[in-house]
Amino acid sequence: MAVGRPEKCHNRRSWDQQVFKPGDRGRNLAAMFIDGAWIAARSGRDFAVVNPATGDEIGRVPDGGADDASDAIAAADGAFGAWSSTTAYQRADILLEAWRLMTEQADELAELMTTEQGKPLRASRFEVGYGADFIRWFAEEARRLTGEWLPSARADQRFLTIRQPVGVVAMVTPWNYPMSMLTRKMAPALAAGCTLVLKPAEATPLCAKAIFDLFTEAGVPPGVINLVTAADPAPIGEVFTSDRRVRKLTFTGSTAVGRLLAAKAGASLQRVSVELGGHAPFIVYPDADPLNAAKGAAALKFLNAGQACISPNRLYVHRNAADAFVETLTKRVAGLTTGNGMDDGVGVGPLVDAAAVEKVAGQVDDARTKGAGVPIGGERLTADGLDRGFFYAPTVLTDVTPEMTVYREETFGPVAPVVVYDDVDEVVELANDTHYGLAAYVYTESLKTAMTAFEALDFAIIGINDVNPTSASVPFGGMKDSGLGREGGHEGLDEYLEIKTAGISLR
Ligand code: NAD
């Protein structure tokens, strides 16, 4: 039923009120952004956003549907002609202003992120910086949007290529990195001259709203960026993948949903990028310093409570190093404080929801039943008010074997499964024995071992004695069931561009 728009306003930074003034609760807040206006859903419905550390409702956002998605696509389509005709210099200037604003507002944005998504404040600040860096990177790349002048087999012919924006882009993003996963898509799309419609995850629409606020404040014109929030994503996905005006779909999330949307988008012959799940191996070779490797593993595994697509899910440790590795890892885990990410000293926040806690507990219980050791963790945390949120203790599992669910399925939680191996010639084969192909990590002192593993691992991102192998300046993406396409780097811009060829006769 089309009932019109119950609310319409242009209030910048309205997420401030939504998050920090509980009195706003229950109102049908205008938090969808279509054609330059903050509006409510056509249905008039909304849904709650919850702080995963406390279970408290922190705001409400419009529950958009298929008709809202169509409106947003119409706005993006209408704005495409003018936006794609701006110069790369103009687009770069707007993006640089968005980067400046995001950097300037880092503290407020980080607080919003911790309140809505749960990660510790320090980690939120890091994500804001990481997310902002994509905007700066693609502002710079925008001005390097060149073509080529090419030779022909015919003496009297030349070829010219130019790169042009693909058109309207539909974007679907996850909750685990609720700002950087948006800027990693929006910045290159805008740099290329595309217009866009974005649907954020149900759990983190307020972070999305904040990102739209700052792009708008930076000068992105009405209609160029459009935000549709929804409690049920499926109808939006249907519209995104079937509307002829949408020329590209870019998705970050689970492999199951990515596969479904990519198939539908493929049927419409939309261009497709999908950044999906992972099951990263972390290989400790016998020549590596086990203490250094264990410190690296502890720092990486418990980031964002393990809710990262590049989180290690199988820690292959050579038998000679295993005792020292597990001892150091366990000590490090014992030193982690789990709690509300807004509190000082907290290193591990909550999981996203009750279902995530169930999933993690299920994997740990399965491993325990099948013979895994649990030197630390292995339980939900409920004391001292943590029962209000969704907490699971940082956990180490030992003696993990391929029969255990955790060995095969992405955990997306704070669990470090250690697998002891004996044969260095076999460990890459063990690591590659997965449908996923996103990130892998190698600890060794030998350049030869590192380079051999780098080339042989069927994963697109390899950390070599390094636990942070990502940056705006390098391509990020997956092989196999971890996805199609790359984000970041100069490759990230190509995903939003068509190449046109002109054959020119000199006769
Ligand atoms: P998810 O697939 O459940 O949701 C991701 C997004 O898809 C959300 O916005 C959700 O609303 C939407 N969605 C779900 N069903 C849909 C449908 N039928 N139609 C349209 N949209 C739909 O994933 P999640 O739990 O939010 O995110 C975690 C997953 O994301 C993990 O598997 C993680 O590895 C992956 N991830 C990958 C990367 C990467 O770059 N490769 C980065 C972050 C997260």
- Expressed in angstroms and rounded, the spacing between residue 83 Cα and the centre of ligand 1 is 29
Write down the H helix ranges in 287-433: 290-301, 319-334, 354-369, 405-408, 427-432
- Residue 414 predicted with pLDDT over 80: yes
Average confidence (pLDDT) over 189-202: 98
Q: Label each residue of 423-490 as H, E or C.
A: CCCCHHHHHHCCCEECEEEEECCCHHHHHHHHHHCCCCEEEECCCCCCCCCCCECCEECCEECCECCC
228 burial class (0-12, 13-18, 19+ CB within 10 angstroms)?
buried
Minimal CA–CA distance to 338: which of 349, 353, 351?
349
* 172, 250, 353, 471, best to mutate for ligand 1 pocket (most atoms within 8 Å of CB): 172
Structure tokens, 406: 């955790």
Q: How far apart are CA 56 and CA 389, in angstroms?
A: 9
Give the H or E element holding residue 223.
none
Q: Has 207 been annotated as catalytic?
A: no
284 pLDDT band, cuts 50/70/90, is: very high
Contact 99, 190 (CB under 8 A): no
CA distance from start to end of the chain: 62
Q: Has 491 been annotated as catalytic?
A: no
Count of C-beta atoms within a 10 Å radius of residue 6: 16
Candidates 275, 410, 487, 495; catalytic one: 275
377 lines ligand 1 (CB under 6 A): no
Of all protein residues, the one whose alpha carbon is nearest to atom 11 of ligand 1 is: 201
- Residue 223 predicted with pLDDT over 60: yes
Contact 69, 236 (CB under 8 A): yes
Contact 250, 171 (CB under 8 A): yes
- Residue 171 predicted with pLDDT over 70: yes
- DSSP bridge pairs for 392: 380
Q: How far apart are CA 484 and CA 89, in angstroms?
A: 30
Average confidence (pLDDT) over 21-34: 57
Q: What pLDDT was estimated at residue 30?
A: 72
Q: How far apart are CA 274 and CA 171, in angstroms?
A: 10
Q: How far apart are CA 302 and CA 307, in angstroms?
A: 8
Mean pLDDT of the chain: 94
- Expressed in angstroms and rounded, the spacing between residue 173 Cα and the centre of ligand 1 is 6
**Atom number in ligand 1 closest to CA 201:** 9
- Residue 479 predicted with pLDDT over 50: yes
Contact 329, 298 (CB under 8 A): yes
Q: How far apart are CA 345 and CA 364, in angstroms?
A: 26
Average confidence (pLDDT) over 246-274: 98
Residues 145-163 have pLDDT tens digits of 999 999 999 999 999 999 9
Q: Structure pTM?
A: 0.95
- Residue 114 predicted with pLDDT over 60: yes
353 lines ligand 1 (CB under 6 A): no
- Residue 222 predicted with pLDDT over 70: yes
Residues 130-141 have pLDDT tens digits of 999 999 999 999
Structure tokens, 335: 């030193």
For Cα atoms 311, 275, 260, give the angle at the middle one, nearest 5 degrees: 120
| Residue 153, helix vs strand vs coil | coil
Amino acid at site 434: T
- Residue 91 predicted with pLDDT over 50: yes
Q: How far apart are CA 153 and CA 454, in angstroms?
A: 39
Q: How far apart are CA 410 and CA 419, in angstroms?
A: 16
| Residue 329, helix vs strand vs coil | helix
Q: What pLDDT was estimated at residue 29?
A: 64
| Residue 173, helix vs strand vs coil | coil
- Residue 340 predicted with pLDDT over 80: yes
Of all protein residues, the one whose alpha carbon is nearest to atom 42 of ligand 1 is: 309
CA distances to 442, 453, 465 from 456, in Å: 12, 5, 16
| Residue 59, helix vs strand vs coil | strand
List the domains of the chain with CATH numbers: 33-276 (3.40.605.10), 280-480 (3.40.309.10)
Which residues in 398-431 are b (16+ Cβ under 10 Å) and which e?
Answer: bbbeeebebbbbbbbbbbbbbbbbeeeeebbebb
- Expressed in angstroms and rounded, the spacing between residue 152 Cα and the centre of ligand 1 is 45
Give the H or E element holding residue 106.
helix 106-117
